[in-house]
Structure 1
Amino acid sequence: MHIIGAGGQARVIIDILIAANQAIEGVWDESTTIKAVLNQPVRGNLKDFKASGLHPFIIAIGNNLTRKKIAEELNVGCRSAIHPKSAISALASIGVGTVVMANASVNVGTTIGKHVIINTNASVDHDCHIGDYAHVSPQAGIGGGVYVGEGTHIGIGASVKHGVKIGKWAIVGAGAVVIKDVPDYAVIVGNPGRILKYNPI
């Protein structure tokens, strides 16, 4: 597996791949100063990787919009990374390029899109839809039947009530409690969650 990105997300993904006994071929990043990540050599930048024709790869970029741009640029050959200590229902669906970290849970009937991050100890209950390029942060809890739109970020420790619909490219702040629907691009904070502003992407 080749890893695109050499920051903190890459370190976590390398750890997942090691735990899953998957071979790591190298890391690729735009930085010219980072030479290795957890003893995995940085072999070049994104342009170099594209020219190499190497596969498979996973995008280790935490920023949702950047991850989307890179995924669309590379287009083909991506794989997912699933920590063996995660709990994923056999009746859930996980999209290509998605990362599920240690102790995260994904329940029955849930559909996780492509290039999503389900972070450490996050809980996604039954029959949810998590859109492409979304990020569910550590300790976040999402109730049953929740819809999360493309590119939306659910912050650390946030809670989302069952049946709520959250639009695309929204941000739910750390610790926020979402009890009603959230429009596209909204930034939600507090308990109960309220709109602080709108996210210009």
Structure 2
Amino acid sequence: MNKKDYFVHESSYIDEPCYIGKGTKIWHFSHIMKNCYIGENCNIGQNVVISPNVKIGNNVKIQNNVSVYTGVICEDDVFLGPSCVFTNVINPRSFIVRKDEFKKTVVKKGASIGANATIVCGNEIGRYAFVGAGAVITKNVPDYALVVGNPAKIIGYVCECGNRLKKVENKYICNSCNKEYEMKNNGLSPKEE
């Protein structure tokens, strides 16, 4: 680790070995555990714990009070809102060790997870999906889907820029950036030019 390439507040702990990319900032009272990979230009807020073997992509923003447990992978450009929650075991008991049962959770490129949302392990949050504040994810979330509630349900779709898409005939249009999307067999995707 080369401390010249990234910032760590003096109140935080970094266990070795781990990789922290250039331009990343780790703020107050956070703990980065061994064998983590954290990409470039990430911003890790106050009181964040990143457990062993977690992979964080480039340009990821993790707000205050988030624990990213073993089994979680966050791809590039992910946003994790304040106090959102990940799990890594489906049926935890304090008196039974289940570390060999950790489930993988993937947050795909560009996805945003709102404050106080809960992500039940073993699920995938699709590319550029938007999980509303307080939502509880109990199944996979498709690309570009906007989900809210407990359990979370799709109530619409969002653009890569984060604004809600408007359905016009067979396509979805962003009123902010005018990008167009279309529904195909595999879900919503940007309209091919």
The aligned residue for residue 164 of structure 1 is 123
| Identical residues among aligned pairs (%) | 33
- Tell me the equivalent position of 2:137: 178
Higher helix share: 1
Distance in structure 1 (CA, Å) of the matches to 2:24 and 2:108: 20
SS at match of 2:155: strand
Write the distance in 2 (CA, Å) between the matches of 1:106 and 1:19.
Answer: 15
Cα distance between partner residues in 2 of 1:160 and 1:196: 18
**Separation in 2, partners of 1:171, 1:105:** 23
Q: Does 1:101 align with 2:60?
A: no
Match 1:196 to one of 145, 155, 158: 155
For structure 2, list consecutive stretches of 5 or more residues without a partner in the other structure: 1-6, 12-20, 89-103, 161-193
After the TM superposition, list the runs of 4 or more consecutive aligned residues in structure 1 that deviate by more than 2 angstroms.
Answer: 17-21
- Which of 41, 56, 59 is equivalent to 1:115? 59
* Larger relative contact order (CA 8 Å, sep ≥ 6): 1
- Deviation, structure 1 residue 19: 3.9
**Would the aligned equivalents of 2:8 and 2:26 in 1 still touch at CA under 8 Å?**
no
Q: Give a deviation string over 1:73-113, Cα, whole Å, max 9, x none.
A: xxxx9510012411111121100101111101111111000
Any idea what SS the aligned residue of 1:96 has? coil
1:134 corresponding residue in structure 2: 78
CA RMSD of aligned residues (A): 2.1
User: TM-score scaled to structure 2, two decimals?
Assistant: 0.63
Aligned pairs for 1:28-39 (under 5 A) are none
Which segments of 5 or more consecutive residues in structure 1 lack a partner in the other structure? 1-16, 22-76
Q: How far apart in 2 are the matches of 1:153 and 1:177?
A: 14
Structure 1 counterpart of 2:37, one-letter code: S
Counterpart CA distance in 1 for 2:22 and 2:49 is: 22
Give the number of aligned pairs. 131
Which of structures 1 and 2 has the bigger CA Rg? 2
**Aligned ranges for residues 32-111 of structure 1 at < 5 Å?**
79-111=23-55
